[in-house]
């Protein structure tokens, strides 16, 4: 498959991934917003439960960052949408993320890399952070406590935000808070009261939480 260039306008394209083609959506910073030399790659929730790059939490995270002048890249993990392959419980999905990041870095070598993920996507980003070395990381409702997913020996960047709803019916919020407190270099934690896993009626609050922290990370210049 021919490697596509990084589009200047919103576009959906196919990349050559480790299990076959990967469906990718690229969006530039919002019109009228001063662009920053950053590309944020955003990962979606659990593939086997209907998660995709069109999930509303994922698209809100993308919107929040684009309003700050950041280009965003969403993509479907293997087995989702037009992406080939089979679900691999977070292992092969890390390879998918690495393939997308490799393309972003080849196309935008002077841009900082940020990673963001929601639920299962947060887990995948965390596991891959040590190898990918992003300049910033946003973890939304990371599924701490799930026995099949290992949250030990992680290497997140210094710029790291965790957003967790207190009323999450999927992820154990208290397990997340205890995990954060146990870390030698804990992230910035935003606890959102009366907030469910999918941030029903709280998406605007989520946007504000992301922007409040991410604004401090923005570099100057262009890429």
Query: Residues 51-76: pLDDT tens digits?
Result: 999 999 999 999 999 999 999 999 99
Global confidence as pTM: 0.97
pLDDT at 146: 82
Please say if the pLDDT value at position 2 is more than 80. no
End-to-end Cα, the chain, rounded Å: 26
Query: Residues 30-52: pLDDT tens digits?
Result: 999 999 999 999 999 999 999 99
- Largest Cα separation within the chain, whole Å, is 47
Query: Residues 109-151: pLDDT tens digits?
Result: 999 999 999 999 999 999 999 999 999 999 999 999 887 898 9
For residue 18, list its beta bridge partners. Answer: 20
Distance, CA of 72 to CA of 50 (rounded, Å): 21
H-type alpha helices, 26-172: 56-66, 91-107, 120-132
From residue 134, alpha-carbon distances to 38, 89, 131 in Å are: 11, 22, 9
- Residues listed for the chain: 223
């Amino acid at each position: 498959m021919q490697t596509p260039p990084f589009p200047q306008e919103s576009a959906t394209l196919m990349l050559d991934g480790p299990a076959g083609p990967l469906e990718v959506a690229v969006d530039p910073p919002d019109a009228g917003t001063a662009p920053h030399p950053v590309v944020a790659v955003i990962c979606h929730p659990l593939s086997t439960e209907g998660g995709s790059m069109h999930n509303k939490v994922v698209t809100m995270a993308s919107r929040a960052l684009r309003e700050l002048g950041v280009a965003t890249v969403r993509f479907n993990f293997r087995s989702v949408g037009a992406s080939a392959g089979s679900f691999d419980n977070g292992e092969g999905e890390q390879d998918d993320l690495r393939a997308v990041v490799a393309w972003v870095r080849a196309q935008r070598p002077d841009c900082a890399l940020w990673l963001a993920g929601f639920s299962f996507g947060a887990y995948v980003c965390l596991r891959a952070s040590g190898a990918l070395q992003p300049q910033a990381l946003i973890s939304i409702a990371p599924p701490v406590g799930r026995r099949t997913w290992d949250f030990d020996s992680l290497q997140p960047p210094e710029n790291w935000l965790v957003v967790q709803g207190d009323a999450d019916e999927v992820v154990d919020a208290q397990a997340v808070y205890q995990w954060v407190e146990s870390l030698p270099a804990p992230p910035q934690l935003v606890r959102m009261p009366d907030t469910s896993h999918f941030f029903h009626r709280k998406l605007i609050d989520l946007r504000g939480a992301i922007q409040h922290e991410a604004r401090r990370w923005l570099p100057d210049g262009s890429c």
